[in-house]
Structure 1
Amino acid sequence: MSSRYGRVTTDWFLRFAAAPRATVRLVCFPHAGGGAAGYRRFAELLPDSVEVLAVQYPGRQNRYGEPVIDDMTLLADEIVGAVERELTGPVVFFGHSMGAVVAYEVARRLRGGDPVTVRRLFASAGPAPSARSSLGVHLRDDDGVVAYIRELGGSGVEMLEIDEIRQLTLPMVRGDLRLIETYRHAGGEPLNCPITAIVGDRDHTFTAADARRWVVHTTAGLDVHSLPGGHFYLDEQVDRLMPLLVERIVPR
């Protein structure tokens, strides 16, 4: 089945292009308020050896009519079920902001004996699970939520000035913010795959010092990288981001 967002492999995944020569899958997890279609450029720029799939959370784009999941445990469990049904072999996870923690929670559930092997987690612009704190944004009124989104920047923010779009979008955004702001990390074994943390050098919400706190969540090593930009650095720096990903995804 196809949509204007990409080819729907299941409700949970969008595939943007066939990749018959792929040897690894890059599974991308959107930020709060984001959708799978935002990763289309990854599929256009990465080599044929990497198949790009993007997770589509309920309540947006081709899943607009579905209720938003605002509980991390439920969301991660649902995605794990989809991964186990649909995917096999080596995968790499890329998560931006909220998506970094969703990707981590999915990865920690896929340990040991699964047909899917998580080779690496890219944590982009998202604080470590054990170091998160809540600003209570999901409890603000609509203007307060919009002000927070505007402060973070990113493409399409100006669309929230249109009343119709604001009314359609804010319930989904608020649900995502509730999910990440009520999340509390549960102790357990760290991941056994390496983690790469990526920061925008002008992102006041996630600095290089914050990125280094991901080290407690892996036994396989952490590397930290900075690219020009703010919280949504990848909107403008995708051409510089891709070589960094390829170097760590494609076996030599």
Structure 2
Amino acid sequence: MRGSAVFKPLSGKTVIVTGASKGIGRGIALRFGEAGLNALVVSRTLSDAEKVAAEIGPNASAFAADVTKEEDCKAMAAAAIERYGSIDVLCANAGIFPAAKLGEMTAADFDHVMDTNLKGTFLSVSAVLPEMKAKKAGRIVITSSITGPITGFPGWSHYGASKAGQLGFMRTAAIELAPWNITVNAVMPGNIFTEGLDGIGGDYIASMEASIPMKRLGTVFDIANAALFFASEEAGYITGQQMVIDGGQVLPESLMALQEMGAAS
């Protein structure tokens, strides 16, 4: 069956977005809300989540949860079912990225990042499984990164390990959950312009853009659109896969490759 040239609408379905108060998570929540999904906007601080839910409109509501805590994740899933009747999509986006170089990084620093980024993904996924398994349908989209699975950056060895770990988790989870028609995929952002870059200066942003073949930073909606695709019915035969959204950042083998591109143009 070839199907329609237009993707089937997701309106009326329910998405949970963790880490949704700012940055990529906020962009994902806004984009899914725009597509007509009921959105549970999750953040550690309720007031921050409420601001984003208000931006989306009446089909969104806020919930406070710490994804490092199992009871919070279970309460998050229960709230989505109570408010909207189902959980169709989980966007496991919550993550932190404090910098600390080896030799200075403490065990507590390492554990904090792993607990939030990797354990938080596991707990969020575990919390939505009873509902998804009961319906025999679901979409799980994990926000990983190019940092860790593909690239590295000084000060982010713990962050990179957590993001690579998410992909390892994803592959086995995809196998285990396939019998219930639950897909598990990941988006892998490159350099994305978020609130965190405000005030760092044009020179720094220009240097970042110079390392990207498309010569611009990505937007949060570039990531959100990829997540929305993974959530679509049309992506139902895709599982255990990752999509790099980086403007070609990981492609050049050296700075010379980008300089050659400039010379050719």
User: For the superposition of Structure 1 and Structure 2, which TM-score range results when normalised by the shorter chain?
Assistant: 0.3 to 0.5
- TM-score, normalising length: structure 1: 0.45
Q: TM-score, normalised by structure 2?
A: 0.43
Higher strand share: 1
Task: Say which structure is richer in helix.
Answer: 2
